[in-house]
Amino acid sequence: MTIVVSEDDDEADYSPFTFLRSSAKGDVLNVSHDYRYQKMGYYVSMHAELCGNAVTPRCADILDTHRNPLLMTRAARAGIPCLPYRLVSQHDRNVALPALCFAVNPYTCNSVTEVKSESRMVRTMKSLSINNRYPVSVQPLIGDVREAVQVFGETAVPEARAIARRFFEEFRVPIGKLIVQIVDGEARLSHFEPVQRREVDWGLVRDRVRELARAQ
Amino acid sequence: MKIGCFVEKYCFHLKDEAQALELFKATAEARGYGFEFIYKQDLDRIPEFDAIFIRANTDPMNTAYVVSRLADSLGLVVIDDPHSIRTCSSKVVLDGLFKQNGIPSPKSLLFDGDYGPENLEHVFRYLGFPLVVKAPYTKFSSHVEKAHDPAEFREISARYLKNATPIVLQEFMPTPFDWRVGVLDNEVLYLCKYLMPRGGWKIRSVVDGRQVWGDTVPIFRRNIPKRLEQLAIRVSRCVGDGLYGLDVKEVDGQYYVIEINDNPSFYHGQEDAKDRDLYEKIVDRLASGRPVRPGSYRVNEGLPY
């Protein structure tokens, strides 16, 4: 297995940009804190696919996690507890409040917005839809909103551990931030976002990568 | 058979494009199929349709990708399918696709912002000046600029790197026109020459401060040069058996692929001016019940071109 890590790591075979100029053969593990489209983490997986290799994570899975309706549809099908969502493309008085809103536009990556009033909803819709150009995913806000950074299916947030494990089993994205709502003590998935480099426990990442390298 | 055609309001702004959309609708209805334009507020209705035809701009970050992926996950026939959108929307991906498959294309390099003297010397020596700087997300010749010297290269590349890493650098290959080869089901669907506007070097250029488009010269597909046809089919097989538009340069009898686009444009009186059956062929493909089969990225058939 070829290992590509976005941070310095002794177990890594390539840095991301060096990998793009290679013709690696065989399975590829691509470890990055940011897999957004048009970013290096995405292109490493794309290059592995172009070379005809099996890669973790796959580009289709990356994009599914980064587009809220696709994430929610697929996660629900996989049996992951999820909040229902509605796509709204302009302000709609029938949307129940309070609500949790997420952008489905090409520009916003940290868009989690709690909306508790009608006036705030008008402003949020205008902003996240970029003046009604793009849809917005709207979910009921019925629990405590938590952020859980998951690394290979593990997270430090106790209530989100089961979801993190199942998320990784389904989507195989090694690092990312899960937005969950804790409803009656149970976590339900709301969203996924890339993490900041400083939010990642790189020691844990190195341990997991080392274990995977030794297992080969 | 109900076909949903995903559009945005801007798809109807130009008369020729709106007419082409109406011709798709009329063609489908003449064949006894339902054909309905759907918009971003209709995403919940996708399961009502048997096939989805996307005419709004595709990109993995646009609503059109969400539509495509939702339709694909329901097992509907969808053009453009998500695999084709992922492949064709990024010039970085196409650069890798061409290199992995030995597709003739202008010399190119990926650039991640390494402005070290050693790397710059290599870039400038390999590509020469002027060189073409391309953002990965270029559409309709936007975000493609020519750098004539190191200072201009630094200014353009730094601007593009703010939104994407890496970007593509390419040798400048001036030609009076690009071939546009429309492909469906790995067969040539239509053929055009997209002429460069006078004084410009791209199909859409800024000349004397004004944005101008070059003319389109339609040609019967039966007249396509054999080697151009073989090259176009070979490239399309790397991506899938959907609907594509290839841009190809011809220099001294050699063909060089610039890009393969999913979601190719249709303007009534241009792409459809010679082979008018393209509407029937696309509608029949949508109604076939046969989902678009993704290509394998790598095609090692050793076809001549």
In a domain, B194, yes or no: yes
Average pLDDT over residues B194-201: 87
Handedness of CA B98, B102, B105, B109 (dihedral sign): positive
Window B:231-250, CB contacts with A under 8 Å: none
- If one looks up domain A86-140 in CATH, what number appears? 3.30.1490
Task: Output the pLDDT for position B302.
Answer: 41
Query: Chain A to chain B, count of Cβ pairs less than 8 Å apart?
Result: 89
Task: Output the pLDDT for position B299.
Answer: 59
In a domain, B62, yes or no: yes
In a domain, B100, yes or no: no
Last residue of a domain, one of B145, B171, B197: B171
| Strands A86-88, A136-140: pairing kind | antiparallel
Please give, rounded to a whole number of angstroms, the shortest distance from the CA of A132 to a CA of chain B. Answer: 10
Asked if the C-beta of B95 comes within 8 angstroms of chain A's C-beta atoms, the answer is: no
A215: left (phi over 0), alpha (psi -120 to 50) or beta: alpha
Same domain, B262 and B182: yes
Q: How many domains does chain B have?
A: 3
Q: Do A106 and B110 touch (CB under 8 A)?
A: no
Q: In chain A, which residues fall in CATH 3.30.1490?
A: 86-140
| Closest C-alpha among B230, B234, B242 to residue B294 | B242
Task: Output the pLDDT for position B242.
Answer: 97
Asked if the C-beta of B43 comes within 8 angstroms of chain A's C-beta atoms, the answer is: yes
Query: Among A84-93, A135-144, A170-179, A194-203, whose mean pLDDT is lowest?
Result: A84-93
Helix axes B15-30 and B278-287, enclosed angle (nearest 10): 60
pTM: 0.91
Please give, rounded to a whole number of angstroms, the shortest distance from the CA of B88 to a CA of chain A. Answer: 12
Same domain, B215 and B258: yes
Same domain, B118 and B198: no
Same domain, B163 and B64: no
Longest dimension (CA), chain A: 56
Same domain, B41 and B113: no
Q: B152: domain range?
A: 107-171
Same domain, B162 and B201: no
Residue found under tokens 């402005």: B115
Residue B215 near residue B195 (C-beta atoms within 8 A): yes
Average pLDDT over residues B142-168: 92
**Residues from chain B contacting residue A59 (CB–CB below 8 Å):** 86
Please give, rounded to a whole number of angstroms, the shortest distance from the CA of B136 to a CA of chain A. Answer: 7
Task: Output the pLDDT for position B41.
Answer: 86
Same domain, B59 and B129: no
Asked if the C-beta of A131 comes within 8 angstroms of chain B's C-beta atoms, the answer is: no
Q: In chain A, which residues fall in CATH 3.30.470.20?
A: 64-82+143-198
Residue A155: pLDDT band by 50, 70, 90 thresholds? very high
In a domain, B99, yes or no: no
* CATH code, domain with B47: 3.40.50.2300
In a domain, B90, yes or no: no
| Closest C-alpha among B203, B237, B262, B257 to residue B62 | B262
List the end-to-end C-alpha distance of chain A, in Å, as a whole number: 7
**Residues from chain A contacting residue B115 (CB–CB below 8 Å):** none
Q: Which CATH architecture has domain A64-82+143-198?
A: 2-Layer Sandwich (3.30)
Window B:112-171, CB contacts with A under 8 Å: 112, 136-137, 163-166
pLDDT digits (tens, 9 = 90+) for B201-232: 888 777 778 888 889 999 999 999 999 999 99
pLDDT digits (tens, 9 = 90+) for B16-51: 999 999 999 999 999 999 999 999 989 889 999 999
Percent of chain A with pLDDT over 70: 98
